[in-house]
Amino acid sequence: MARFRLLLLPGDGIGPEVMAETARVIAWFADRRGIDFDIAEDLVGGAAYDVHGTPLADATMAAAQAADAVLLGAVGGPKYDRLDFSVKPERGLLRLRKEMDLYANLRPAQCFAALADFSSLKRELVAGLDLVIVRELTSGIYFGEPRGIRTEGNQRVGINTQRYTEAEIARVARSAFGLARQRNNRVCSMEKANVMESGILWREVVQEVHDRDFPDVALSHMYADAGAMQLVRAPKQFDVIVTDNLFGDLLSDEAAMLTGSLGMLPSASLGAPSASGRPRALYEPVHGSAPDIAGQGKANPCACILSFAMALRYSFDLGDEADRLEAAVEAALDAGVRTPDLMQSAGGAPATTAGMGDAILAALEDGR
């Protein structure tokens, strides 16, 4: 069997704690399922800044380029709020995304049966929810030029530019259509073609890619503001949503909260195939570094562990092993194991980060 090179970047805040549990899960798959991982670990974000004066050292960037998959915990924290923009922890993450050219960001919003009452929406609206947002991640207003703050006359002007090429739109559209074929075969594309030229182009190119290469997939288009509204009105109408970088940032936070449990949601950022034929890939939990609870054993490791499940599926082509891991997480929840973020009222003792890891490992053993 092939050897999989995995780079772990625990990062800041609760990142190291959730990564430690994920590392135990990875070790289980190596021992019990005979999967050959070559694991390296390095610094990112504030943790890297503290040591190297930069949120991502060049050597770490090179290691990420050479890895089959990168698994990242979280970056950022109040300690770094006053740093110059160019060395903020988030810049480390943005550099990884940009230089690895990870243009397709898959953000699933899945509602686990045991957690359906956590949503701020009614149970019947979210029970069984299973959608994926495919967010364009390497272009758009996050990276467009010109950008900056400059002085015009007697006042300052803040400038960012929304810019998309046809090729950038087409490749992320292809990712979304390909993913839909493995799911329920529906894609809804979101932009603001009513006010933005980049939105008009987005809509045209998504339609062209569809008509040429994916006519079997059901495609619809929505303005992003209407999409935001439909996401809370009737979220189960969606299967795959494809959208740009900024709308995707907003809509994916909204979709995550539909499930009521941010601590459960993984993500994958995929690029073009590398020399090995595998796509360049970075996996990370959607939750941030949660500095307020860092170091206290309160963090929920499920999102990071489920991010590793996505790596099994999308980088290593081990869909069965991914299913096995996802089932183990579900079994731990069904057994009532709850980190504090998954407890609605005081009642029963919450599980620690390691306690949740124990429960998932026990479920893996049971299911073997």
List of residues contacting ligand IPM (CB under 6 A): 90, 93-94, 249
Q: Which of 68, 80, 192, 341 is catalytic?
A: 192
Q: Which residues neighbour 229 within 8 Å (Cβ) at sequence distance 6 or greater?
A: none
17 binds, among Mg ion, ligand IPM, none (CB under 5 to 8 A by kind): none
Q: Which residues neighbour 288 within 8 Å (Cβ) at sequence distance 6 or greater?
A: 13, 74, 76
By beta-carbon distance, which residue lies closest to Mg ion? 249
| Residue 178 or 288 having the CB closest to ligand IPM | 288
Find where tokens 């998309």 sit: 164
| Residue 244 or 249 having the CB closest to ligand IPM | 249
State in Å, rounded, how far the first CA of the chain is from the last one: 20
Give yes or no: 192 in active site: yes
Question: Are the beta carbons of 359 and 26 closer than 8 angstroms?
Answer: no
Q: Which of 249, 298, 314, 341 is catalytic?
A: 249
Assign 136 to helix, strand or coil.
Answer: strand
Least separation, in Å, of the C-beta of 248 and Mg ion? 9
90 binds, among ligand IPM, Mg ion, none (CB under 5 to 8 A by kind): ligand IPM
Give yes or no: 36 in active site: no
Give Dmax over CA atoms of the chain in angstroms.
70
Q: Which of 117, 216, 225, 292 is catalytic?
A: 225
**Residue 35 is encoded by which pair of tokens?**
């999967």
- Segment interacting with Mg ion, rule: CB under 5 A, options 181-189, 205-213, 249-257, 258-266: 249-257
- Segment interacting with Mg ion, rule: CB under 5 A, options 89-97, 99-107, 214-222, 241-249: 241-249
Give yes or no: 117 in active site: no
List the beta bridge partners of residue 191: 223
Q: Taking CB under 5 A as the rule, does residue 284 contact Mg ion?
A: no
- Which one of 12, 239, 249, 326 is in contact with Mg ion (CB under 5 A)? 249
How many residues sit close enough to Mg ion to count as binding (CB under 5 A)? 1
* Strand 144-152, strand 130-136: pairing: unpaired
For the beta carbon of residue 156, count every other beta carbon within 10 angstroms. Answer: 9
- Segment interacting with Mg ion, rule: CB under 5 A, options 26-34, 90-98, 244-252, 346-354: 244-252
Least separation, in Å, of the C-beta of 241 and ligand IPM? 15
Give the C-alpha separation, 200 to 72, whole Å: 35
Give the C-alpha separation, 305 to 325, whole Å: 8
Q: Exposed, middle or buried: residue 75 (CB in 10 Å: 0-12, 13-18, 19+)?
A: buried
3: part of which helix (H) or strand (E)? strand 3-11
| Residue 288 or 297 having the CB closest to ligand IPM | 288
213 binds, among Mg ion, ligand IPM, none (CB under 5 to 8 A by kind): none
Q: Which residues bind Mg ion (CB under 5 A)?
A: 249
Which positions are annotated as active-site residues? 142, 192, 225, 249, 253
